[in-house]
Structure 1
């Protein structure tokens, strides 16, 4: 059996206000070509399909046009997609009855039966090969929100609830499969030891208990397709537990990632190989600095000029990081003037202050941080420090995180 593992498409994402639809369109066209060329049996999309719980219409069109196109060119292909922490689980599942006609399974939530047991049946999906023979079973684990895995049956411990869900689902899968059929898990979670991007991954933290142990996925599982972390990586060096990463750089901290999908091959229950397929970058992200303003202006002057025949949609996104001794009121004007006629698109100017130019009592080496660089937890912690002059305690952070989850779940209701 052959699978393609992808994740974190973040359709509808914008980069400091700039639309990324062109880049996503290029990725999806490339992915369709790879599916046609290699004819895998299964495509896995491990969460964060959209960038927000209420994605723009264009982003939804991108997803559904892709699914239709994939089915038309390869009717035997099975697609499994799960909701991530950026997604609305209910929105992901809303068109599920229609998508099943296109051999696409959409799982957004875990549900519980009247007797308090996990509804494992809906999370176990058969994975047939091109001949229709079931070669594997997929354990679909969408992002598990606290309200879904805590309560009367499971108690209030979030991690314990997650562990119980994994245990019950794996037991159900082992009872269902026959010898020779592989178990494939798809999950959206932060695993312990994973490398996190600086400013593009929304924290899953509840208190300080966030990262999940790889031991949740026992050795009976042949392959674990993970989503959430944008950098492609193995978990604890295990070949069978992988993040495929995002298909495009979602922030300037991801410039140096080799964005890819993973080509997974199995023989029965045995994992044969996991090979990356590198995704062509439709638009480069370019960062200049940090450096003093005079040096920055020289570097901007050296950038290539616009070619009138060039596709403007392929011009690089540019971030400029300027190190200043004191505030520079006309900073943006100087930067934009230097960029006139240059083949780049400026999306952000970040000013870093050093020396003694600041008179607000802040650290002389402090860096200006924009609001979109801070998570809600970080903003809350800073506000607490400003108001009370002390670090926020862990229990208060946990209470805030739970309130935040409640608000996000309310926003998900279509």
Structure 2
């Protein structure tokens, strides 16, 4: 039996981009997605975590989601929407609305629960996918972002997060094997950072230095497709059937060249390996452009004046501009106003200005190398550490990065508060 579904993730509803709401962009994406659902009539829509941008989303962001679910159900009543919580979501919050979700043929898995025996409640994590005739065509193993406190301490196999993750995958896949028949597909949906995944600067770090990135070896060969969330760049990880769908809109300027998409997947277990699995990446139109302007001051002004003109009436629909300039002399105090004046009128939002400093280094042959990249905390720490005569020490660097991560999280929490 053939199953057809859409793989999406990392919607980040409610996100603010340099204090500018992304509501319009999300509205455009959701309207476009409804068109795809109406035309393709998939059996399921998978949302692989980070549905919202923050744990306590604004009512407007929640309304956006629930209105979309109602509209999707009206267009494709047989379609199931399956969602998992990401590291930006509150798993308990999104599970609280189960009675509402049921009305729209939707289900969410937010946290890992215990069963009566004190082990993982696997039944909640194995979700059937039906066709139009109510036949089970696939099983979806739904794994939300795995927080150590939720998965450790069950038994001797769950003493730490790494062995708990391995044990959970083993138990879950074994239970799914017992349920599935030869003509049913097996899909695993997970919100995690996999080894080999390419990141942007907008993903909130959930690991340090890739040390705890998960291995694709967790996924048994019996699994037909792995629908991943967390990384915003669409990409496969190791094998064709293990994929990140990526985010639907660019969530930072580092994602300006990403080809945002949803993945339409078709699986027919009755066919051989080459024909069993098919996918189509469906490009998501970008509703608001992002412009990254870099160079010396005179080059920056030339690029700003060369941008397309023509007013955009609605402020929340104007295009975003990020400027990185470098100069050998101190900039004038009214530089921002000069940048604003150089931009065509009423079309752009200048959201970020940063000055790049020259970092001069010498190669082995004394050739001078000039870098305009801003120094990261890690690079600054290493430079100071070496300047004081200390040797490279991975353990010390790891401790420093841990402190940086805690400080970033503390600042983020203060900003939310």
TM-score w.r.t. length of structure 2: 0.85
Aligned-pair CA distance for 1:97: 2.5
Q: Which runs of 5+ in 2 are unaligned?
A: 361-368
CA contact (8 A) 1:195 1:229 kept: yes
CA contact (8 A) 2:261 2:281 kept: yes
Q: Which runs of 5+ in 1 are unaligned?
A: 357-362
- State the match for 2:194 in structure 1: 191
- State the match for 1:343 in structure 2: 347
Say which SS state the counterpart of residue 356 (structure 2) adopts: strand
CA distance in 2, matches of 1:125, 1:259: 27
Paired residue total: 392
Say which SS state the counterpart of residue 248 (structure 1) adopts: coil
CA distance in 1, matches of 2:185, 2:205: 32
Aligned-pair CA distance for 1:32: 0.5
- Counterparts of 1:101-250 in structure 2, within 5 Å, are 101-153=103-155, 154-197=157-200, 199-205=201-207, 209-236=211-238, 238-250=239-251
Aligned-pair CA distance for 1:268: 3.0
Aligned-residue Cα RMSD (Å) equals 3.1
- State the match for 2:302 in structure 1: 298
- State the match for 2:283 in structure 1: 278
- State the match for 1:56 in structure 2: 58
CA shift digits 1:292-344 (9 cap, x unpaired): 11121122122233336x65544321111111224323321221222261522
CA contact (8 A) 1:182 1:269 kept: no
Aligned-pair CA distance for 1:354: 2.4
CA distance in 2, matches of 1:215, 1:178: 23
CA contact (8 A) 2:20 2:316 kept: no
Given the superposition, is the C-alpha separation of residues 35 and 348 from structure 1 closer, same or farther in structure 2, using an over 3 Å criterion?
A: same
With 206-215 and 29-38 compared, the bigger mean Cα shift is at 206-215
TM-score w.r.t. length of structure 1: 0.86
With 186-195 and 311-320 compared, the bigger mean Cα shift is at 311-320
Given the superposition, is the C-alpha separation of residues 296 and 16 from structure 1 closer, same or farther in structure 2, using an over 3 Å criterion?
A: same
Say which SS state the counterpart of residue 211 (structure 1) adopts: coil
Say which SS state the counterpart of residue 85 (structure 1) adopts: coil
Given the superposition, is the C-alpha separation of residues 318 and 30 from structure 1 closer, same or farther in structure 2, using an over 3 Å criterion?
A: same
CA distance in 1, matches of 2:109, 2:211: 25
Say which SS state the counterpart of residue 36 (structure 2) adopts: helix
Say which SS state the counterpart of residue 353 (structure 1) adopts: coil
